[in-house]
Structure 1
């Protein structure tokens, strides 16, 4: 993926004035008359993410003005890096170290494009002079982790089924010397993961349980569980076409935990990390699970199926039961569950 660079210095750089709405009037009064006239003529309003290119007396680009809410999140500059003309830019706004790092993250993420199937990925020519105090290594690590999650979600289910998701986890594990174990197909029944098997058994790509472990056992235990439904047709309670259209993203929880794992391992945080991903495809076939089937979970509880399109909580139940067995200090699950219960 092409991203604009972060540079330590530049012979010539164009200033970016990031101005909060409540400070805009005071800032504007300090500018030259030509700048005030230009911004007034284009009816500029310092709403978040709105920006304006300010020409100099010679007609060349002299400055950029952008409205911001705050730099507490990376998104203040995220819209700029892909839209500005080629050249080097510098932030004129004084920032704390954490805010400067966030600005770098947003700059890097602003040019994210899913390019797996593109013959010629887009290129971007704007670069940012690293603001004073920014942790560039941290910014690049965060951006890289987020790009991984986005790429996994954006990849169609044809190329990102349970087997491919497991392969991505193994690749990540190799890069950071983590141990990755995968239980697949009927082995899930032998090792007592019945709900994961039940939901995924109708697909030609068998269900998987991905288990990544990294770090020292002496460190605090952090366990992340991510729902990995690589495509959700709804099962026999079939979704309508409109509801099925974006269901490649139903493994967003898995993509999120793998991205977080990349971040944790890349930063070498002092934790013992475990990642569990039940990876399945909720498909339709002669052996698909049915409404009113009664299945037993890993915990030993029986569950009657009211709707086969409520598969997420089923696969998570077995993974969470296994996660709790170790009594981790922190346990977080990530999932795209029913739209009727958004958090």
Structure 2
């Protein structure tokens, strides 16, 4: 049931070769598994590097919105084994090297100590990025809290429920067979939304929140997160989910629409809608329930960075401007969308 795509067969082959090396060394040394573990550690690291180099060569592509003259590239999932892209096997090789190293120490320590050490290293791998994100997160919370209170808007330090409400990544398609479930690429979602600001601006109800979003198909997703700001305008009715984007450069664009309800998307995305996207500068947006949202990516770790001269950039004001653009876009959406409105209307994230 495991499907391969292109060089997706490379990581399983390398992991199989690593296992074969371990057994060969142990057999050649009359069952000396400790030496076999020690020999296999550098081999696991080399195999991991080979796999990553192959991924850089095959699974790196130009960004869809690349500006002419830039060298921005993104990871893709063209070459994968099952639902795991080639480069995302990198942590597997690190884990194998750590496990072999723990096995080598068993000749001096009891196995619970070795297991505890391996568990501590694994926990450290995931904990360090979390602690690295705490200082910029605290600065963002303080800055936005002051910004919201000065305008009489509701504010909350964190709101984990937004993780279930908003899904900025690709919509989850329905899978018909167990094989499709096993081989579907992973979906990146928001991590612990924070600095949540909600209120009414120029007659429009909105919510703004920051979060960390894993880089799609990244080799080390626990470490490769991007600071994003999600800006949402709330409707008076809930609708099926749809994502709309304009990809391209200069005056040449390709329209991308992703939805599980093509009939709704056809009624929603008209020529006037596309013109409204161009006029408001909204290149990507989505409808999710009663929320129309857009995501501001590549936010700084320190909200006081940026700007010109001695004036720091005001990223909270940028979020409000994004809300204004969304409101202008919503005002120009087609009027005949009532047949797709849902009766159950979810509550607002914050009362404000």
TM-score higher than 0.5:
no
Range of TM-score over shorter length: under 0.3
Q: Which has the higher helix share?
A: 2
